A and B are shown apart, each in its own frame.
Chain A
């Protein structure tokens, strides 16, 4: 056994959705309990805990383990926006990772923006998504129909995911008939911030599902319309986005290339973000995201299914829990336990989150 190998010993989830009156700690306890049960572990059987959360507040992970009477070990809380869970997993080799979130509704207020930007109306998160979408449409030939197509695909996949918030198929016409939030993005093209938790137990060992890479990368200067959002106005045309930095490092660490991947869970905060991720992850050349979608490659029946869980467009997004939620889904896929949404014969899986900071995480799992 390679002493540096890390395997997924257990996975646990609390469904993603809206749970009025349920404290975030209770949501997380369920995910952690499920992960420990899946791993066959109990009190005293693990040595450290890393908790990824964006809005959980001070000592979020401590509260969860305190509620379970499992304190006394190092507990580290990690915040890296939507990539918080990826950051936790990166830190958690030989330990336990957990992600949890309880979210405000509507447009998320973030301490990321300076007060004057709020006053000037410039703290409009969906508008930045819209600008990014328009840029992708111009530079990659992506159309409104492509954007709607991502929603149709992911919502169709989500029908088979009992942990998803939305489990009804939609048509492209329905997506395009939903109200415009920020041109070109319609309401149904945006994921809903919501609540949920995911937990993963990792341990040293080989066999089963292996964590081949768990990489977090934060932005370089100039990512004006990447996830770094506004700031200092630098032109970013030659600056690699954090997703590409994380993917490049993850492929190298895992010893795989983009063509080796069998199944992907990627950040579909909005429909355009999924298409942009195809390019940034190297699943297709720059400028070919629309073409990849047109060829049906990322459908369940295609060569490289993307978001078999239904993605965030079906599940909703609890920021701190989304990366480990992907790990739960991809572990099920690699174990062959994904039921009607199983990608047959999957051996190499990639999970990707990206968000404010800008932070991106890329996780490669193999079996």
Chain B
């Protein structure tokens, strides 16, 4: 892919040779998790949230495929789209590497990956997180 750049800083870790993990938040007041990381807890409104690396494994909860480019999107279609449930008790909206819905089943194990989206004006490949059947 050459030089890559994340679609947004602070969304996931992707150090060369390092592991890919989603960067979430955990509220030190109520203990609930959230993703992406927020300054204010969406469960209890507390401002006491700490950064936490979320599990890179989960199970498939709902899924579909996007067949036409959504607004603002410059990448390829179709692509898989769904929600993966993490052990932390989170349901994460995510791209899926599988774009054929009939090949996926409810509850199947999924693992985190990084996928290319498009090449930006500086020739860098913009990447984002996605889940893939494991």
Contacts and interface: CB of A to CB of B under 8 A. Distances in A.
Given A120-B7, A221-B42, A134 B62 contact: yes
Interface residues of A, number: 37
Contact of A183 (B42, B72, B101): B101
Interface in A277-320: none
Contacts of B67: 180-182
B115 to A, nearest CB: 9
A232 B71 CA distance: 21
A233 B73 CA distance: 22
A238 B24 CA distance: 22
B8 A233 contact: no
Contacts of A221: 42-43
Nearest to B106: A138
Contacts of B83: 131, 224-225
A59 interface: no
B125 interface: no
A176 to B, nearest CB: 15
Contacts of A135: 62
A16 to B, nearest CB: 23
A134 B38 CA distance: 29
A260 to B, nearest CB: 35
Nearest to B126: A119
B90 interface: yes
A121 B63 CA distance: 14
A127 B64 contact: yes
Main secondary structure on chain A at its contact with chain B? loop
B82 A182 contact: no
B17 interface: no
Interface centre among A108, A134, A225 (most CB of B within 10 A): A134
Interface in B83-100: 83, 85-86, 89-93, 95
B52 interface: no
Contacts of A127: 64, 66, 70, 81
Interface residues on B, range: 35 or more
B71 A131 contact: no
A248 interface: no
B75 interface: yes
A230 interface: yes
Contacts, number: 123
A125 B126 CA distance: 22
A115 interface: yes
A224 B71 CA distance: 20
Nearest to B54: A233
A104 to B, nearest CB: 9
B70 A107 contact: yes
B90 A234 contact: yes
A107 B74 CA distance: 15
Given A131-B63, A225-B62, A230-B93, A118 B35 contact: no
A125 B70 contact: yes
A115 B24 CA distance: 19
A122 B8 CA distance: 13
Given A127-B81, A134-B64, A225-B83, A121 B42 contact: no
A106 to B, nearest CB: 8
Given A130-B64, A180-B67, A232-B34, A121 B117 contact: yes
Contacts of A241: none
Contact of B35 (A115, A184, A233): A233
A235 interface: yes
Contacts of A39: none
Contacts of B33: 233
Given A116-B11, A134-B63, A222-B43, A122 B71 contact: no
A108 B70 CA distance: 9
Given A121-B79, A234-B32, A131 B95 contact: no
Which 5 residue pairs of A and B lie closest in terms of their CB atoms, listed nearest first?
A118-B72, A116-B8, A109-B71, A124-B70, A230-B93
Given A121-B117, A234-B91, 6 more contacts: A108-B71, A119-B118, A131-B62, A182-B81, A233-B35, A234-B32
